[in-house]
Chain A
Amino acid sequence: MTSNPETTSPRGPAVDTSTAPKPRGIGNGARSRRDAQPVAAGAAAKQTARLARGLVLPGMTFTILLTQIPFVVTIVFSFLRWNQLRPDEIRFTGWDNYAVVFTRPEFLSSLGATVIITGSAVLLSLVFGLFLAVLLDRKFRGRGLARTLAITPFLVMPAAAALVWKWLMLDSNVGMVNWSLGLLGIDPVQWNTNFPLVTIVAVLVWQYTPFMMLILMAGLQSQGGDVLEAAAVDGAGPARIFWSLTLPHLRPYAEIATLLGSIMLLQVFDPIAIMTKGTGGTKTLSYLLYERAFIGLDIGQAAAFGVIAVIVTIGVAMIALRSTFSIFVEGKVR
C-alpha cells in the first residue's frame, strides 16, 4: 500500500533501498540496481525527498491506524480474563494468559508445525514451480492454454481446493489417488488418518506451485536472449547455461516468490479446518488461534497467543530478511 507512491516517484537518492524492492525485483531485474547507486545530492533532491515523504504520509498514517490499533486492542485483550460465554466475569488478569501460552505445550508444537508446513510447502512449490516455468517458457503449440491450465489451482478458493482434495483426490472410498495406487497394485493409503501432514502439504503445494511458476516465468522472460546465445556460441551446453546463467538470474525472483509465498502460507487455515482439524502435527499458529478464540471462546488467551505469535514472526522475519534475502540487504551487489 505505502510502496505505491514511492514506485511512481522520481528515482533519486531519497528512495530508500529497502522500501522499493518490488519494482526492481520483478520489473527489470539487475539493471536498475546499478542505476540506483546514490548520486550527489543537491537541494533539488532534498525537495524531491520531502515531496516523496509527503506523498507517502497519508498512506502510511492510514496503514498504521489500520494495523496498529487492532494490535494495541489485542494487547489489551491479552491481559483480560474473558470467556465469551461468561460475559459477567471479564476482568484484568495480569500475565495469566501469557503463563498459559508458555506453560502449555500447544504453543511450541504449533510453532513447529507452522515452520514445517510453511517451509516444506514453500520449498516444494518453488521447485515444482521452477520446473513448470522452464517447461512453459519453451515455445510449443497450445502454450497459452497450458499456461492458463497450470495457473488454475492458484485461482481456486482455498476452501474449495481443500474440499476437492478431500473428496476427489484423497477420499479412501472414491478418491482418485487411492484408485491410481490400486491400479499399480498398492493398497489404499489412509491419507488423512495416517499422513495428515503430507495431506496438508500436498494441497498447499498444489495451490502454490502456480504462484511460484508465475513469478519465475516472469524472471525467465526478462532474461536476454543475446546472453543465452552468446553462451551457446561459447560452447556452453543447456545444463551449464541453466546452472550458471539462468539460475543466478532467477535468484531475486525466487527470493520474492519465497517471501510472498511464506507470508501467504503462514496464514493457511482452510485445508486444516476442512481436512485434518489440527491433528497429527498440523495445528499451525493460525489454526490454534482460531481454536482458542472460536471453540475455546477465550478471547484473552487467544489474544495472548496472537501477541506472542506476532512477536515471534517479526523476530524470525527480521533475521531471515536481513541475512538471506539479497534484495533486502542494502548495498549488496553481486
Chain B
Amino acid sequence: MMLTRIWRHKAAPAGLAVGALALALTACSSSGDAGGGAGGDVKLTIATVNNPQMQDMEELKSHFEEDNPGITVEFVTMEEGDLRAAVTADVASGAGQYDIVTVGAYEVPQWGAQDWLLDLTESLEGDAAYDVDDILPPLRDALSVDGKQYAVPFYGESSILMYNKAMFAEAGIEISNNPTWQEVAEYAAVLDTDEHAGICLRGKPGWGDLFAPLTTVVQTFGGNWYDENWDAQVNSPEFVEGVEFYVDLLTEHGQADPVSYSFTECLNLLSSGKVAMWYDASVAASILEDPEASEVAGQMGYTHAPVYKTEESGWLWSWNLAIPKTTKNPEAATTFVKWATSKEYHQLVGEELGWTRVPPGARTSTYSIPEYQEAAAAFAPITLEVMESVNPEQPGVDPQPWVGIQYVPIPEFQDVGNQVAQLVADAIAGRTTVQDALDRGQDIAQTAGDLQK
C-alpha cells in the first residue's frame, strides 16, 4: 500500500555479469531441494508487485537458476491492487496457481491464521547460514502468529519526516531528530510561502493512502481504531483531535489540492522543490537522493516521525515473500524465498545493480555493509534507527488487540479504512466537519469490530 507506485530509479540495463557471485550463493541452497518436486524440472511461479525492488529480483533470477539446476522461476508482475485481488482469489479458492506470493504486512497475519500459508519457522531457524535473527525484530513480530513465522520480509519501511535543509536554513529554523507534531505545524506555518508549501501530506482517500500516515498521527495523539474489546474508537476525543490536527495542518499549510495527493504526487512535489517538509514512507528518501530523479538530491534532511503523546510514531510496512499451502513444490519454493531474502542476495544486488538498490529495511546486517553505508549514507542510518525502535505490539498510547502499526489486520479493515478515508476527504474539502465524518466512521468501524468479538 505504501508504495503504490515508485519511480523506477532508472532503466539501468546493468549487464548481468553472470556467475561472479555464484559461489557465495551456494550457501543457502541445499542440493536435495531441486529434484524434490516431481522428480524432474521444477517451474516456480511467483506473483509479485511491480515495485523497483521486485523488478531487480526478476533481473537477478538467472543467478538463482544457475545455482539450482532444475528449477526455473517465472515472475507474474502486477499492480498492487491487482496482485492483492489475484493472490487472494488464488489462495482463498485453493487454485494453487502460484508457488510463491508477495504479500503485504497487512495480509500475512490474517492469511497465516487462516492456515493458507506455509509455516516457515523451522526451515528458517534450522538454517544457520540464513541467520533468521538478522531480520529486523519488529518485522518478524508483525509477520508471525503465535510464534509461527509465515513470511519473510523482502524489504521493509517505516515513516519519517523529510525536510528541505536549504529552506529551513533560509527561514533560520533548526529541527531536532525527534520533532513533535506541534513543532512541525509551527515550522509549516513559517515555511508556507508563495514559492513552496509548508508540508506535503497524503489526502487521497484510501486505507493505504490517506490513512497510512493519518493512523500514525491518530495513534500518537492517543487515539486508535479499536480498544482492547474491539469496540470502535473512531469518534473518541483523541481520534478526533488527531484527525482535526492533520486536516487543519493540511488545509492551512499543506500542498494545494490535497485530495489528489498520495505518495507519488508528494514525491513529485518534493523532488521539484515545491514543498519544505514531507511525512511519508522511508523508502522515498532513496528516490529523493537520486540526482537523476530529484532536483533536491543532497539537500534533504531526515528525522523520526513527529510525535505527540508517544515516543515513536513511525509505521511499519513490508512486502514479504510467502508460500501458499497449495503449492506443489514447497521445497523448491522455500529455497527461492530464502535465496531472495538472504544476505548473499543483498550483496548480489549491490554488486550487480548498485548499492542504493539493495532492498532496505529487511536485515540488520545490510546496514553494516561498508559499500551500502557509503551509498545510502543520507537515509540508511535513520531508516534502521526508526525501524528498530517502533513497537508494532503497542504503537499508540493504549494497548491494542492486534500486532501492527497503521493498519488493523482484520479482513474488514481495508473496507472500513477506505470508507472513513472518504469521509475524512470530505472534511478536508470542507463538505463536512471532522466530527461529523468520524461520527459516521464510528458506525462503520463498529460493525466490523463486532465481528471480531
Contacts and interface: CB of A to CB of B under 8 A. Distances in A.
Interface in A92-131: none
Nearest to A278: B422
Interface in A199-229: none
A149 interface: no
A193 B88 contact: no
Interface residues on B, range: 20 to 34
Contacts of A279: 205, 259, 422, 425-426, 429
B258 A297 contact: no
Contacts of A194: 429-430
A291 B110 CA distance: 20
B204 A193 contact: no
Instruction: Pick from A85, A191, A275 the residue with the most CB of B within 10 Å.
Output: A85
Contact of B411 (A83, A191, A192): A83
Given A173-B269, A277-B422, A297 B256 contact: no
A284 interface: no
A188 B81 contact: no
B257 A190 contact: yes
B257 A85 contact: no
B92 A193 contact: no
B255 interface: yes
Main secondary structure of the interface of B (DSSP, over half): helix
A296 B81 CA distance: 13
Interface string A163-193: 0001000111100000000000000101111
B9 interface: no
A280 interface: yes
Nearest to B428: A193
Contacts of B269: 173
Contact of B92 (A87, A166, A172, A278): A87
A193 B258 contact: yes
Given A83-B411, A279-B425, A172 B256 contact: yes
A255 interface: no
Contacts of A192: 257, 259-260
B8 interface: no
Contacts of B259: 190, 192-193, 196, 276-277, 279
Contact of A294 (B85, B204, B255, B430): B85
A326 B425 CA distance: 44
B418 interface: yes
B397 interface: no
Contacts, number: 86
Nearest to A199: B260
Contact of A86 (B203, B255, B411, B430): B411
Interface string B201-219: 0011110000000000000
Nearest to A105: B440
A196 B418 CA distance: 17
Interface in B393-440: 411-412, 414-415, 418, 422, 425-426, 428-431
B18 interface: no
Contact of B257 (A172, A278, A295, A296): A172
A2 interface: no
A105 B448 CA distance: 17
B431 A280 contact: yes
A9 interface: no
A218 to B, nearest CB: 38
B274 interface: yes
A153 B92 CA distance: 40
Instruction: Pick from B260, B418, B430 the residue with the most CB of A within 10 Å.
Output: B260
Interface string B132-169: 00000000000000000000000000000000000000
Given A193-B203, A193-B260, A297 B88 contact: yes
B204 A277 contact: yes
B128 interface: no
Interface in B262-285: 268-269, 272, 274
Given A85-B88, A192-B259, A275-B260, A297 B425 contact: no
B411 A85 contact: yes
A277 B419 CA distance: 10
Contacts of A294: 81, 85
B89 interface: yes
18 contacts: A84-B88, A85-B92, A87-B92, A87-B114, A172-B260, A193-B257, A193-B429, A194-B429, A196-B429, A277-B205, A277-B206, A278-B205, A279-B259, A280-B426, A280-B429, A294-B81, A296-B412, A296-B415
3 nearest CB pairs, A to B = A85-B411, A172-B257, A172-B256
Given A191-B257, A280-B431, 11 more contacts: A84-B88, A172-B260, A190-B257, A190-B259, A193-B257, A277-B422, A277-B425, A278-B205, A279-B259, A279-B422, A296-B414
